[in-house]
Structure 1
Amino acid sequence: MPRKPTRHDQLLRNRPLTFSPFARAMAMATSSKKARQEMREPYSQTKDFPTSSGNEFLNRGKDTTKQYDSSDNEDFEGVVQADFAFFDPKPSDYHGVKVLLQTYLDDKQWDLSGFVDLILGQPTVGTVVKIEDDEDDGVYSVVSALNLERYKGSKSIVELKNYLLKVCQDMDVIANLRSLLGEHALDVGLIVSQRVVNLPPQLLPPLYDGLFDEIEWATEDEPTQELQRSFRFKFYLIISKLYKHKNANQTKGTKARDEDVIYIKPEDEIFLEDPIVDSFEKCFCSLAHGPSVFPCTCNRSQLMRQLKNYQLMGLVMAVEASKIPLFRKQLQALIDE
């Protein structure tokens, strides 16, 4: 059902969106220096925000919501104030959503335009986040859930399935992935969740709560029984990325150390923890050969030095729908830390 825009006033300190102790320490080490650089920039200078999916940038023509405090004797910590609002997807969001999804499947050429059309064509289940009263109408985040069987005839979904089956060559998981993409596709919802890296983490719980609430409502409110059935998911498929140390122990069943994995999205750390995702449903696929984006306030040269021993990896996760209430509680607890 349609929703009114939801306002989220944010007063946030300049801090990284990384949650493992190792990643947090790396990010905080350079946050003060970066903040000083930003403070010296002209207020009207264009800002480029990297997306959470790769090395593409969302260009914003102005930056009038940032405020900074400084002290000669103390490290500067930036303060950002912005009014974020949640909206149902609509056709005018096409460009902003497409920019966010440009590296969703790494650098593969595929029917991204058709994929964006699927998301925008499903306004009852999905959300875009914008800055309230922003004249540029930029999109800072998009979340949605697409039924793989319902859209099986779409060129974009066919290409997405084929790509996943091609890059995920682990024999321990390929049969399960093929089953989810094929015979059980009616029960599988593809969760699409992309955003600019510096989106306030406090927005994550209401974003996911809204998505899963809408899915539940759709099972009763959609106009036909067929559409209602298409939202009764038993599994969710999630495509994401993370940084994995080149020497990390990849032995099955071995718990990774904090320094082995750096999560670009904090929720992925929850999804990968038992009992959210069973071990046979994990699939690490190499989608790139080097770092392209990192969720902290460091500059690019520092990132390249710090991440020289890490590789950007694709991540495919299958999550049982029955585990989502637990995920929602854990995500809220993580953000509240």
Structure 2
Amino acid sequence: MSNKKNKEIEISDSESDDELDNAESDRDSDLDSDGNYIGDKELQADFEGRNPEDCDFHGIKQLLRQLFLKSNVDLGALAEIIISQNYVGSVVKQCLDDGQEDDDEDDDGSDGVFGITTVINITKRKDENCIQQIRTLLTTLAEENANDKTKALVNKILSDDSQHVGLIINERILNIPAAISVPLFASLQSEVEKAVKKNMPYAFRYLIWICKTYNTGDESSEILFANQEEKPLLDEALASFDVDVTEQADLSQWDYEGGALTPCRKILIFDGSKFNNLVRLLKEEVENV
């Protein structure tokens, strides 16, 4: 399948392309326990959304590890599902100069995945092992962290196979700006609409969105979203609950304005018919930053 068009976005900072290449080789040493970049180098590069391909397997799996941490989920199998449904969803890759791809024929590009945006039908695929694990994880996390009303909703939507549930995955390396989410979600929106017209199982009654958030320890402070564009979505959720993932993260806290950040996950549940509105809200959030 050909790569998607019209989703290129420029990340403008001070580093040259040569410096970017050098930074890539050192990237692992500049990652925190979530796999996010915490180095102090500024990068300049062009990125684009593309269809997931087999060569993206390891990059996708690493990004999924950022989201799920040490949860009991077969991330390799989940990455394979994402690649298998490459007509829906995108990976973020660095744009190559003309001729560069031909010069690097031996490079499969597996280390060059900077983001993944997609949706997976966890009802239709409920018999696949990694999806069973995700469904069990969601049920367990709700039981341990949600109020009674939200627990009942989670149990309801995961036990009724007539109501399809989509899991939104929106993950990227931390230093990739939120602006890139706009073309990625616009593309996902179009792809889902096309799939529904072809009677494919992407007409969702509910959507579940796992957001990476950070807690400052101050109850009066606002929630800090790792992906800034997700912030306005909270008010649209049918239900939500928070999960402290400190014990799963090797480094549980970041310095923040003299304080510290504790990593969390916020689970949001939406009416599936609100997806287009969610895309509009995240676009507005990016434009207003």
* Change beyond 3 A, Cα 1:121–1:304: same
**Aligned with 1:173 (options 126, 137, 150):** 150
Cα distance in 2 for partners of 1:215, 1:5 equals 17
Code of the aligned partner of 1:327: L
Cα distance in 1 for partners of 2:20, 2:10 equals 23
Match of 1:125, SS?
A: coil
Query: Where in structure 2 are the equivalents of 1:1-337 lying within 5 Å?
Result: 4-6=4-6, 8-13=8-13, 44-45=22-23, 46-48=25-27, 55-56=34-35, 80-133=43-96, 135=104, 137=109, 138-168=112-142, 169=144, 170=146, 171-184=148-161, 186-221=163-198, 225=199, 228=200, 230-248=201-219, 257=220, 259-273=221-235, 276-278=236-238, 281-289=239-247, 303=255, 306-308=258-260, 310-337=261-288
Code of the aligned partner of 2:35: E
Cα distance in 1 for partners of 2:91, 2:149 equals 36
* Change beyond 3 A, Cα 1:263–1:306: farther
How many pairs does the alignment contain? 267
Query: Which stretch shifts more, 112-121 or 260-269?
Result: 260-269
- Offset of 1:329 from its aligned partner? 2.3
Instruction: Check conservation: 2:34, 2:67, Cα contact below 8 A.
Output: no
Cα distance in 1 for partners of 2:2, 2:256 equals 44
The superposition leaves residues 182-220 of structure 1 with CA deviations (integer Å, 9 ceiling, x where unpaired) of: 215742111111110111322111111111110010012
Cα distance in 2 for partners of 1:42, 1:183 equals 48
- Offset of 1:285 from its aligned partner? 1.8
Q: Which consecutive residues of structure 1, in runs of 5 or more, have no partner in the other structure?
A: 15-34, 36-40, 59-65, 67-77, 249-256, 295-299
Relative contact order, CA 8 A, sep 6+: which one is greater?
Answer: 1
Q: TM-score, normalised by structure 1?
A: 0.69
Q: TM-score, normalised by structure 2?
A: 0.80
Instruction: Check conservation: 2:242, 2:264, Cα contact below 8 A.
Output: yes
- Offset of 1:10 from its aligned partner? 1.1
Cα distance in 1 for partners of 2:12, 2:153 equals 42
Match of 2:207, SS?
A: strand
Instruction: Check conservation: 2:11, 2:46, Cα contact below 8 A.
Output: no
* Change beyond 3 A, Cα 1:143–1:51: farther
Instruction: Check conservation: 2:52, 2:82, Cα contact below 8 A.
Output: yes
- Which protein is richer in helix relative to its size? 2
- Offset of 1:105 from its aligned partner? 2.0
Match of 2:255, SS?
A: helix
The superposition leaves residues 219-260 of structure 1 with CA deviations (integer Å, 9 ceiling, x where unpaired) of: 123xxx4xx2x1111221111221123341xxxxxxxx5x24
Instruction: Check conservation: 1:240, 1:315, Cα contact below 8 A.
Output: yes
